[in-house]
Amino acid sequence: MATPRSVLIKQSDYAHLMALLDKADPQGDSLLFDELDAATIVANGEELSDVVTMGAEVTFLDVDAGESTIMRLVYPEAADPSRRHVSVLAPVGAALIGLRKGEEIDWPVPGGKLRRLRVTDVRNACAAQGQTVE
């Protein structure tokens, strides 16, 4: 069973993501919309060092396969698979945004199956560069 979770989104990220969804295919981006719809919006200055936010480097475990992956969550225009920069509009990006270290989610994959993902580490973009986390 997945760990109980509460999706946390910074106010500025929420506004930017909702603007993206206004222009996107509603059918294809329903997972992100559902995540944002259920999210708790937090002030931009609140520290979210253990939360997957935009720009964060996240390590997650595919519990079913036992495989660990590291990626950076980015806006669509910065997506680059060769650098492991994954768009928040991609299914795995939408699944992970707002989760805390240790939380899990059942992620839909092609064929109608679900994979269990667990966040094992989060490095905020600013913290990784030695800056204060916004």
3 state SS of 97:
coil
Q: Which residues pair with 51 in a beta bridge?
A: 100
The domains of the chain, with CATH numbers, are 8-128 (3.10.50.30)
Single pTM value for the model = 0.81
Low-confidence ranges of the chain (pLDDT < 70): 1-5, 25-29, 125-134
Rounded distance between C-alpha atoms, residue 74 and residue 98, angstroms: 13
6-44 per-position pLDDT tens digit: 789 999 999 999 988 888 765 556 778 888 888 899 998
Cβ burial of 43 (10 Å; 0-12, 13-18, 19+) is exposed
